[in-house]
């Protein structure tokens, strides 16, 4: 049953989801009494290192936190997007800057039409990525930050920072393993291992894959994404950075039975191979990862997962946030982005309802978050359906069998019309976080054929090449990640 008034909240789970939920709610509704209970025995997932632009927007714009403590405690590096080793091109870049749909005043069409097969970049930010640069240099030598960056962060450091800031704002943290007590109203208490009853008006299930409340206690149905996303495991390793430059992007590389990420931390390079266990064994996946990354220095560990989501996030007096509600592989590094959306929409719902949530509001909350999950499934499906880089049985199956669901019409539109943005907003609903540009990046990047190839006039081709040359020049003069980190640590640095 819905709580008639929400004054107290217990968050079950102290991973990134639990603390992001607690911090968001406490920051937006400071009068709420919020406690986080997390198990010292179960621990946090320990992976989850790439973010999207939603992450800085959530913390520094929506929650208005000061970035200084974040930088000092999480020691992030900057991520401008993803470099895909995917499809027939040598490489292509996915950015957060909406480059393919942009149209310059001197050109008759948007950039997507001008982007050539042998060109690694379609705009200023991807030109920076292609040159391994992050930001331009200000006149005083410091980086000029743009709004198209996200971060690479180690999960443990992220959780540590979230916990510290949560405590500063008055969130209480309890170390205990709990089990739920249920009654006709839903969850009635969380019972700690020492027998203490933790009660609240609203319970947030941030217990990770265990989904203690939403899944186990309330039996909410789980909707699998297995007709679109075939991978169900990852093997994760890494090595200490020596002389490798810090890349301003994540790499996503096609592998025999899945794909591999490379995530850049300042002193550590993190590599993980996401694969389908029905296409390759754990030992074979490990062997392929090691063969392609002989510098891996630790003992890689296997993480199992299932792709999908529970039917509803919010059921009675329980709201699920993070892995307890759903999971997809980190091909677009969307988990933390989803948590931002789940937490901020919950905070806004409580604010607007004066902490007395109504059934219609809860229905909207559930529809909105379900749509966000399904959008991610559909976008990732496009990555699998059209990747022609390898011809292994796994990739043949992906090309043949991946269901596109709601992306089907958009892909058909692209096949008929090319990278046209004429249909604009009609192809996607407004809350789709990837936007038409995200789809264009993947469809053009993978050379998905279409019926409207465009050959620019000599004059227009020159104008486009002039743009490309300008971006390249600017990129060559810009700062790389290491230079930016050094500059950030100088006492005179101001953001
Ligand atoms: C292979 C892989 C790669 C990933 N890469 C990325 C990425 O690049 N970018 C990204 O955004 N995300 C990524 N993720 C996802 C990301 O790691 C998680 O979504 C995110 O950290 C949220 O985790 P969580 O807080 O929901 O769960 P967890 O970190 O698992 O936390 C669960 C919490 O619940 C507590 N708990 C559970 N049961 C109990 C109990 N009975 N009593 C008390 N406490 C309990 C635990 O103690 C813990 O504190 C990746 C995930 C995987 C598997």
As annotated, the residues of the chain forming the CATH 3.50.50.60 domain(s) are: 8-49+154-223+309-376
b/e burial code for range 134-173 (CB count within 10 A of at least 16 → b): bbbbeeeebbebbebbbbbbbbeebbebbbebbbeeebeb
pLDDT number for residue 203 = 98
Mutate to test the pocket of ligand 1, among 20, 48, 252 (most ligand atoms within 8 A of CB): 48
Ligand 1 centroid, distance to 322 Cα (angstroms)? 7
| Full-model pTM | 0.96
| Alpha-carbon span 347 to 289, nearest angstrom | 41
pLDDT of residue 48: 66
Q: How far is the CA of 470 from the centre of ligand 1 (A)?
A: 42
Q: What is the pLDDT of residue 87?
A: 96
Q: What is the pLDDT of residues 225-247, one digit of tens each?
A: 999 999 999 999 999 999 999 99
* Ramachandran bin of 43, using left for φ above 0, alpha for ψ from -120 to 50, beta for the remaining angles: left
User: What pLDDT, on the 0 to 100 scale, is given for residue 492?
Assistant: 63
Asked if 9 contacts 204 with a C-beta cutoff of 8 angstroms, the reply is yes
Q: What gap in Å lies between CA 271 and CA 269, rounded to an integer?
A: 7
Architecture per CATH, domain 8-49+154-223+309-376, reads as: 3-Layer(bba) Sandwich (3.50)
Sites in the chain below the pLDDT cut of 50: 495
Nearest ligand 1 atom to alpha carbon 263: 8
As for ligand 1, residues whose beta carbon falls within 6 Å of it are: 12-18, 37-39, 42-45, 47-51, 155, 177-178, 206-208, 210, 212, 234, 272, 303, 305, 322-324, 330, 333, 335-336
Q: What is residue 334's predicted lDDT score, i.e. its pLDDT? A: 95
Q: Return the closest-CA partner of residue 313 out of 243, 365, 240, 259.
A: 365
Q: pLDDT digit string (tens) for 155-201?
A: 999 999 999 999 999 999 999 999 999 998 899 999 999 999 999 99
């Amino acid at each position: 049953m819905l709580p008639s008034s929400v004054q107290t909240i217990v968050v079950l789970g102290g991973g990134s989801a639990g603390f992001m939920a607690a911090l968001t709610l406490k920051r937006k509704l400071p009068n709420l009494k919020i406690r986080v209970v997390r198990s010292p025995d179960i621990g946090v997932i320990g992976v989850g290192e790439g973010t999207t632009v939603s992450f800085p927007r959530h913390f520094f714009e929506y929650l208005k936190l000061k970035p200084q403590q974040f930088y000092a405690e999480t020691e992030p590096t900057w991520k401008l997007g993803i470099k895909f080793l995917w499809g027939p091109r040598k490489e292509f870049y996915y950015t957060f800057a909406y480059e393919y749909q942009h149209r310059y005043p001197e050109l008759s069409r948007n950039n997507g039409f001008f982007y050539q097969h042998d060109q690694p970049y379609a705009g200023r930010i991807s030109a920076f990525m292609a040159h391994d640069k992050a930001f331009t240099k200000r006149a005083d030598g410091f980086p000029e930050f743009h709004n198209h960056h996200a971060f690479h962060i180690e999960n443990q450091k992220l959780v540590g920072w979230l916990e510290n800031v949560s405590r500063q704002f008055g969130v209480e943290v309890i170390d205990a393993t709990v089990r739920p007590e249920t009654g006709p109203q839903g969850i009635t208490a969380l019972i700690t291992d020492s027998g203490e009853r933790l009660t609240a008006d609203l319970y947030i299930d941030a217990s990770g894959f265990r989904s203690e409340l939403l899944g186990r206690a309330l039996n909410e149905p789980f909707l699998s994404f297995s007709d679109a996303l075939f991978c169900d495991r990852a093997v994760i390793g890494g090595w200490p950075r020596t002389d490798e430059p810090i890349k301003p992007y994540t790499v996503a590389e096609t592998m025999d039975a899945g794909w591999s990420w490379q995530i850049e931390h300042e002193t550590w390079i993190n590599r993980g191979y996401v694969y389908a266990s029905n296409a390759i064994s754990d030992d074979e996946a490990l062997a392929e990862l090691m063969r392609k990354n002989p510098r891996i220095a630790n003992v890689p560990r296997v993480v199992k997962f299932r792709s999908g989501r529970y039917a509803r996030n919010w059921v009675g007096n329980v709201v699920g946030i993070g892995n307890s509600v759903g999971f997809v592989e980190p091909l677009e590094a969307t988990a933390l982005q989803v948590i931002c959306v789940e937490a901020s929409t919950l905070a806004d719902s409580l604010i607007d309802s004066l902490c007395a949530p109504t059934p219609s509001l809860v229905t909207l909350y559930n529809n909105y978050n379900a749509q966000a999950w399904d959008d991610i499934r559909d976008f990732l499906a496009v990555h699998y359906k059209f990747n022609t880089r390898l011809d292994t049985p796994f990739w043949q199956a992906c090309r043949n069998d991946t269901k596109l669901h709601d992306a089907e019409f958009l892909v058909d539109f692209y096949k008929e019309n090319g990278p046209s943005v004429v249909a604009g907003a009609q192809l996607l609903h407004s809350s789709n976080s990837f936007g038409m540009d995200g789809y264009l990046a993947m469809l053009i990047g993978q050379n998905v054929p279409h019926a409207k190839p465009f050959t620019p006039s000599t004059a227009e081709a020159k104008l486009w090449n002039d743009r490309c040359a300008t971006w390249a020049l600017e990129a060559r003069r810009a700062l790389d990640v290491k230079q930016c980190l050094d500059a950030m640590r100088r006492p005179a640095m101001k953001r």
